[in-house]
Amino acid sequence: MSDVWSKLRINHRNAEAAGRSITDLFRAPDRFDTFSARSDGMLLDVSKTGIDAAALDLLLALAQEADVAGMRAAMFRGDRINFTEDRAVLHTALRARETKPLVVDGGDIRPAIQHTLDQMNDFAREVRSGGLKTAEGGRFSDVVNIGIGGSDLGPAMATAALAPYHDGPRCHFVSNVDGAHITDVLRGLDPATTLVIIASKTFTTTETMTNARTAIHWLRSALGNGATSHLAAVSTALDRTAELGIPGARVFGFADWVGGRYSLWGPVGLPIMLAIGPERFREFLDGGTAMDAHFCTAEPRENMPLLMGLVGIWHRDICGYGTRAVLPYDQRLARLPAYLQQLDMESNGKRVTRSGEVAAHGTGPIVWGEAGTNGQHAFFQLLHQGTQVVPAEFLIAAEGHEPELGAHHDLLKANCLAQSEALMTGRSFDAALEIARAAGFEGDAARRQAQHRTFPGNRPSITLAYPKLTPFALGQIIALYEHRVFVEGIIWGINSFDQWGVELGKELANALLPLVRDEGGEAKNASTQGLLDALRR
């Protein structure tokens, strides 16, 4: 642990010992200006945290010590920073307009990216215009995307987020191997007008292959050989897509330098493009690119992904908070917490550092959340008065898409601002006592009531404010979170781009399948055996 880490700990300890609260930090008249950053109409406010000027200097020094800037350059130029898989990390190239050659393995990757994007654009235009016919010569009304993890969460979240821009076929998503999922999605859909996209980076994922076979059977039962014209695939494993009988012209490829959870910018984003059209999809990519440019060029103190990452480090390692809540005050971002759970926890839920040692500090926190205002009526009680502090991350648009509804968006904004303020300022015992007395309680009864009505406050939050949830803004938001995860991963010294931790469970599931099917064998422990017995049909 470097000197900077110890200085940060001392800073935090001293502030605690002095009883200094977040509210106290607002005595500095420039608190908000110094602790907020802007990029292309978007504002990130980190002023409602316990980070003071000295702590910010130290956190910036930490970023420098970890060479965040150097690693950032290495990522963008295609170095193999995913060192356990010996791969470059270039999802940023999928969204770039740049044409200057970007060389990976001796070849410029730009032409292939453009080719695939053109192929997607053509396909989407044809499907949306009705030029691409169904087996019966009609128009596709619905699209079912079959994928899981990175091949599901990104496109599902983004498609829902951009509902006001939908002017293409309806998009549905099937991910779970639980047959209930595909059954419930296909029920009500007509195979004669449904396009099925099978999305899997590896094309080996059990859930997706199982659901794909079920969907193909559903199409074939209705359309016979015509089913083929209702299928498309997205993958890096083009040979495997052929095995499943998907025509080559309907296969959209990408390369292994795109991580699954970073893949919605390319062909995995096809459902988004089908829903909103190629032009809007380009705006989405441009939002991501704008955030890339900001990340690469903005001064450290003005750099949103950097600041957000440093806030994350502060909360996780210096304050010791184990989780963070993502609270989009934007119903259409209701799937953002689930999407970020993969982006963040699969990227930074690691315990071994680049040097092969077990990390001496905390790494990725637990990410969870729910759209506001719904969360307020569920778990906000714990955020305000529970025994653990949960840093909160609010997202809010200046403008909704439904101005004709009057009060709704103003209420949404007022609630969002009220929550971050309530978390920070709390309510003192004396104020609570007054309220209890006004409610008719006296003496000890009033004091007892006041205990329960006191809010400790001093609970940190950050707020991301954007003009409106447009395709461009969504692109900015996602890229911001991607780079935040990157910044944290670099400072923690871990590899944010592999996911070995998901392997063991998959292996054991394969080993347990014969036991579940009663084909012989014995469980490795009495608990699993007991459960197998109980689950025997």
Ligand X SMILES: O=P(O)(O)OC[C@H]1O[C@H](O)[C@H](O)[C@@H](O)[C@@H]1O
Among 200, 341, 463, 495, binds ligand X (CB under 6 A): 200
Residue 514 to residue 50: CA distance in whole angstroms: 54
Q: How many CB atoms lie within 10 A of CB 336?
A: 28
CA angle 498, 159, 502 (to 5 degrees): 20
Options 14-22, 200-208, 428-436, 446-454: segment touching ligand X (CB under 6 A): 200-208
- Tokens (6 digits) for 65: 């010590």
- Closer of 207 and 370 to ligand X (Cβ): 207
Q: What would the DSSP string read from start to end of 52-105?
A: -HHHHHHHHHHHHHTTHHHHHHHHHHT---BTTTTB---HHHHH----S--EET
- Closer of 205 and 303 to ligand X (Cβ): 205
Residue 506 appears among annotated catalytic residues: yes
Q: Does 241 bind ligand X (CB under 6 A)?
A: no
Looking at residues 361 to 420 of the shown chain, list those that interact with ligand X (rule: CB under 6 A). Answer: none
Q: Would you mind telling me the total number of residues written for the chain in this entry? A: 537
Q: Does 495 bind ligand X (CB under 6 A)?
A: no
Residue 156 to residue 343: CA distance in whole angstroms: 14
Catalytic position from the list 207, 346, 370, 488: 346
Among 34, 119, 193, 202, binds ligand X (CB under 6 A): 202
- Closer of 200 and 476 to ligand X (Cβ): 200
- Closer of 199 and 219 to ligand X (Cβ): 199
- Tokens (6 digits) for 342: 């993969």
| Closest distance to ligand X from the beta carbon of 464 (Å) | 25
Q: Does 208 bind ligand X (CB under 6 A)?
A: yes
- Tokens (6 digits) for 83: 């060192």
Among 73, 439, 502, 509, binds ligand X (CB under 6 A): 502
Catalytic position from the list 133, 217, 408, 506: 506
Residue 104 to residue 97: CA distance in whole angstroms: 17
Residue 396 forms beta bridges with which residues? 329, 465
| Closest distance to ligand X from the beta carbon of 206 (Å) | 9
Name 333's Cβ contacts closer than 8 Å, sequence gap at least 6. 157, 161, 371, 395, 469
- Tokens (6 digits) for 355: 């040097």
Among 344, 346, 370, 393, binds ligand X (CB under 6 A): 346
Looking at residues 112 to 151 of the shown chain, list those that interact with ligand X (rule: CB under 6 A). Answer: 148-151
Q: What would the DSSP string read from start to end of 471-517?
A: HHHHHHHHHHHHHHHHHHHHHHT--TT--GGGHHHHHHHHHHHHHHT
| Closest distance to ligand X from the beta carbon of 36 (Å) | 33
Catalytic position from the list 133, 377, 408, 524: 377
Contacting positions for ligand X (CB under 6 A): 148-151, 200-202, 205, 208, 260-261, 346, 499, 502
The catalytic residues are 346, 377, 506
